[in-house]
Every structure is written in C-alpha cells, then in structure tokens.
Amino acid sequence: MNVPFLSYDQLKAEAAQVLLQSSYASRFPVAIELIVERDFKMDVVPIRGLQTAFNIDAFILVPEESLDRRFGIAVQRIKAEGLNPAEFPDECLDSIATGLGKQFEVSRDVVLNRLNNKHEDFLTRLR
C-alpha cells in the first residue's frame, strides 16, 4: 500500500475537514467509528489482543467496494480454473480469504470475519 506521510499539522487539518463534513461529528464523544464506517465506507475491525500488544483497539480494513470487486475477481478466477465454487463453497471461500488477506496485508481470519459479517451473504456469490 502506498500511504502518504502527513505531518501533524496536515493530519490535524484533514481531521478538521472530515469533522466539518460529517453528520456524525456533532455527537460527543465524536463517533470516529461511525465516521469511518458510514462516511468512508470502511470497516473498523476489532482484534482481540491489539490493545495489549500495540495499544490500539482496532484497525481499518479496506473500503467495501474494493473488497467486493476483488472478491468478484477471485470467484471468476476459480471458475476459470474449472472449479465449481457451489460444490465446495467453504473451501473456495477459505482460498479467496487467504488470497485477499495477502493482497490487503491482513490475516485470512480477518478477511473471513469481514466476509461473514457483511450484510451481503458472500457464500451466495460463489454459486
């Protein structure tokens, strides 16, 4: 991932802009998770042990559209190889999650958690 470096002043200015534009910023305390999830269409994924190990509670996973698009590409690749995901959905979902985890630099389990907790049932898309 190519993430730009922002100085403290740049980050502070960006944060102020986000708060001005968000309908969730008027609440106190500021609902950062709502802003990230609803305004930016990203998921905040809590991970057990992060607080102890790194002094953070969660991390932000990729935007929903990117995950959705890459999931669709992965399903098409499996089908192009002559496999039928409808016959082995669990195995295919596990394989897809492993591949997506590598792409997004997160564990397979984090991707599986994300896929299984979304409103859309990703298993039905394997058929």
Structural domain spans, the chain = 8-60, 64-126
Contact 78, 93 (CB under 8 A): no
Mean pLDDT in residue range 4-28: 79
pLDDT in tens, 53-81: 666 656 656 667 778 888 889 989 988 98
pLDDT in tens, 92-112: 888 888 898 888 777 787 777
Would you say residue 119 has pLDDT above 60?
no
For residue 4, the model assigns a pLDDT of 74
pLDDT in tens, 21-30: 887 777 777 7
pLDDT in tens, 29-60: 777 777 777 777 777 766 677 666 666 656 65
Please tell me whether the overall predicted TM-score, pTM, comes out greater than 0.95 for this model. no
Assign residue 51 a region (left: φ > 0; alpha: ψ between -120 and 50; beta: otherwise): alpha
Cis check: omega of the bond before 85, within 30 degrees of 0: no
Contact 36, 52 (CB under 8 A): no
